[in-house]
């Protein structure tokens, strides 16, 4: 409803400005003709005020237009793309306010744009509606840039976690209990916990949790969740309350993160929860021990995950938060792959990259991901090892020194795979890959351990020019099309 009101105010402002300029009237001249103040007219044109009916009638008379013409939501042809932009969900995806850009000023600038720029805006809207540049992907890209600006480290959240720990006298010397944290939700925020109701709905059995808000909020958790998953969700609920975050999704699933604000606030809550569970001081000490080793120790990360009662993704998320601040490692990517047992199909369900141009995995494509990636290898390993047996939380880790074909960019990637606790037919792997530069070599002693496998990798089979790849499962169709276009262009130049 609020969006609709803002939309109506912006459209009226655009129409008023357009009609005034067509009549070649200044704001002072229109003020004199309409008996309204210049400041008030300025507020209307900026979309900040919506006048009462009698004042709209005064403006219509001063401009020689009808009342209906002025209040109509239709704009002239050159401003139609602006109206479509306002009416679409694109502005919800673009976090203008987070970058200090006033929406009304932005619209005002766009209204003065040329026909060419209006056409560009129309093209962007078309792309957003009709291609894979969906709302979720658009918002996730905006969030990635936001995190990149801050090096994925937020001191204010870290300080809030420290204050929370002190305020509630929470011990950080041993793994946190989800029961201990829920007691705070129960006593401070009147929460109820329900771990059975979701089982009664087949459609909800793959969801981890749902919050029913109200005077007595009810947190519905999936009964099959591990203690670490319960701990993480309860930590997020504490974050929403402790940080007074109101713009949020009540479903603990990425499926319902519909706006940038929801996405950002989910990230903040997840950051808070991971920082609470994986205490900065003790976690940094443990990682320093890991990085100081001369040889890659395969089970160190798995032991770390178990000791903190965390999940692999939480540990990698926390490492990514601290990597730049503590160790100066600011170039990395994160990948999460899913696969169904017995298939050769791997879905990249999450991809984050900071300060690197490479797109390891070709996110949001129907092409086949490079099978040389450690992400794929650990998935195959754990699936073959279990052979249909329920793993009860078993994990498989791996490491890879990779070099990208053509660019020669090198990475050291850590990966951990696990059976999905809600569906044993699904396996997931999470991978954190650091750009192999002088800083990485200076901080991680085992980077040149000869036991670490080395491979030339690429994004997808369809885009790969490696001629002797035994792992290839598809011909380089896309690459050949691109090369053919280049050959034609070069031949035309010769002609």
Q: Which of 277, 302, 328 is the last residue in one of the domains? A: 277
Residue 269 lies in a domain: yes
Q: What is the pLDDT of residue 478?
A: 85
Residue 437 lies in a domain: yes
94 and 179 co-located in one domain: no
Cα–Cα distance, 138 to 119 (Å, whole number): 20
Residue 298 lies in a domain: no
Q: What is the pLDDT of residue 213?
A: 94
17 and 97 co-located in one domain: yes
191 and 47 co-located in one domain: no
Average predicted confidence (pLDDT) for the chain: 84
Q: What is the pLDDT of residue 411?
A: 95
Residue 103 lies in a domain: yes
Which of 105-109, 145-149, 294-298 has the weakest average pLDDT? 105-109
94 and 155 co-located in one domain: no
> In terms of residue numbers, what domain contains 61?
2-131
pLDDT band at 1 (very low <50, low <70, confident <90, very high): very low
Token pair listed for 166: 């002190």
- Kindly compute the dihedral angle of the four CA atoms of residues 96, 100, 106, 109, in this order, to the nearest 10 degrees: -150
Residue 115 lies in a domain: yes
Residue 186 lies in a domain: yes
340 and 472 co-located in one domain: yes
188-222 pLDDT, tens digit per residue, is 999 999 999 998 998 888 889 999 999 999 999 99
**pLDDT over 80 at 154, yes or no:** yes
Q: What is the pLDDT of residue 294?
A: 94
39 and 124 co-located in one domain: yes
Token pair listed for 258: 């519909």
370 and 478 co-located in one domain: yes
326-368 pLDDT, tens digit per residue, is 999 999 999 999 999 888 888 888 888 888 876 555 555 677 8
pLDDT band at 43 (very low <50, low <70, confident <90, very high): confident
25 and 76 co-located in one domain: yes
CATH classification at residue 155 = 1.10.10
Q: Which of 227, 248, 277 is the last residue in one of the domains? A: 277
The whole-angstrom distance between residue 173's C-alpha and the CA centroid of its chain comes to 31
CATH classification at residue 109 = 1.10.260.40
pLDDT band at 131 (very low <50, low <70, confident <90, very high): very low
448-469 pLDDT, tens digit per residue, is 999 999 999 988 888 888 888 8
Please give the model's pTM, rounded to 2 decimal places.
0.77
Q: What is the pLDDT of residue 150?
A: 84
3-state secondary structure string, 91-114? HHHCCHHHHCCCHHHHHHHHHCCC
Whose tokens are 């009549």? That residue is 23
161 and 15 co-located in one domain: no
Q: What is the pLDDT of residue 385?
A: 86
335 and 362 co-located in one domain: yes
Q: Which of 131, 166, 189 is the last residue in one of the domains? A: 131
115 and 155 co-located in one domain: no
Count of structural domains within the chain: 3
Residue 323 lies in a domain: yes
Residue 432's DSSP bridge partners are 334, 414
pLDDT cut 90: percent of the chain above it: 44
Residue 490 lies in a domain: no
Token pair listed for 139: 């918002």
Return the CA Rg of the chain.
27
250-274 pLDDT, tens digit per residue, is 998 766 566 778 888 999 999 999 9
Cα–Cα distance, 370 to 285 (Å, whole number): 35
Among 197, 248, 200, CA closest to 219: 197
368 and 398 co-located in one domain: yes
């Amino acid at each position: 409803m609020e969006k609709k009101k803002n939309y109506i105010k912006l459209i009226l402002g655009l129409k008023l400005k357009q009609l005034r300029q067509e009549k070649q009237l200044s704001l002072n001249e229109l003020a004199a003709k309409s008996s309204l103040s210049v400041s008030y007219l300025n507020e209307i044109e900026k979309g900040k005020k919506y006048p009462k009916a009698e004042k709209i009638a005064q403006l219509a008379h001063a401009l020689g237009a009808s009342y209906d013409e002025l209040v109509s939501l239709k704009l002239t042809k050159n401003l139609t793309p602006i109206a479509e932009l306002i009416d679409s969900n694109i502005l919800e995806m673009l976090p203008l306010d987070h970058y200090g850009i006033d929406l009304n000023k932005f619209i005002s600038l766009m209204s003065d744009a040329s026909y060419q720029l209006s056409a560009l805006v129309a093209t962007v809207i078309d792309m957003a509606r009709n291609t894979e540049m969906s709302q979720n992907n658009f918002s996730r890209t905006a969030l990635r840039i936001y995190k990149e600006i801050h090096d994925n480290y937020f001191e204010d959240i870290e300080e809030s976690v420290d204050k929370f720990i002190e305020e509630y006298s929470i011990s950080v010397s041993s793994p946190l209990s989800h029961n201990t944290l829920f007691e705070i939700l129960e006593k401070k925020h009147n929460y109820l916990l329900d771990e059975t109701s979701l089982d009664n709905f087949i459609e909800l059995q793959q969801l981890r949790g749902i919050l029913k808000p109200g005077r007595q909020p009810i947190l519905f958790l999936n009964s099959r969740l591990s203690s670490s998953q319960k701990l993480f969700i309860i930590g997020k609920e504490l974050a929403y309350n402790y940080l007074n975050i109101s713009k949020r999704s009540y479903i603990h699933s990425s499926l319902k993160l519909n706006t940038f604000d929801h996405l950002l606030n989910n990230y903040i809550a997840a950051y808070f929860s991971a920082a609470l569970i994986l205490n900065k001081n003790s976690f940094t000490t443990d990682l320093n021990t890991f990085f100081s080793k001369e040889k890659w120790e395969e089970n160190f990360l798995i032991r770390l995950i178990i000791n903190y009662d965390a999940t692999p993704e939480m540990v990698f998320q926390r490492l990514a938060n601290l990597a730049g601040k503590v160790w100066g490692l600011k170039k990395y990517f994160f990948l999460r792959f899913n696969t169904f047992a017995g298939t050769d199909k791997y879905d990249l369900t999450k991809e984050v990259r900071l300060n690197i141009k490479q797109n390891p995995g070709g996110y949001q494509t129907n092409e086949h991901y490079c099978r040389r990636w450690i992400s794929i290898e650990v998935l195959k390993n754990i699936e073959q090892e279990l052979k249909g047996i329920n793993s009860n939380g078993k994990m498989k880790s791996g490491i890879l020194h990779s070099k990208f074909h053509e660019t020669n960019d090198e990475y050291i990637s850590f990966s951990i795979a696990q059976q999905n606790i809600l569906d044993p037919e699904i396996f997931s792997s999470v991978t954190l890959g650091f750009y192999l530069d002088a800083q990485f070599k200076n901080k991680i002693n085992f980077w040149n351990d000869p036991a670490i496998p080395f491979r030339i990798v690429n994004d997808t089979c369809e885009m790969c020019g490696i001629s002797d790849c035994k792992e290839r499962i598809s011909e380089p169709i896309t690459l050949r099309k691109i090369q053919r276009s280049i050959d034609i262009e070069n031949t035309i130049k010769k002609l």
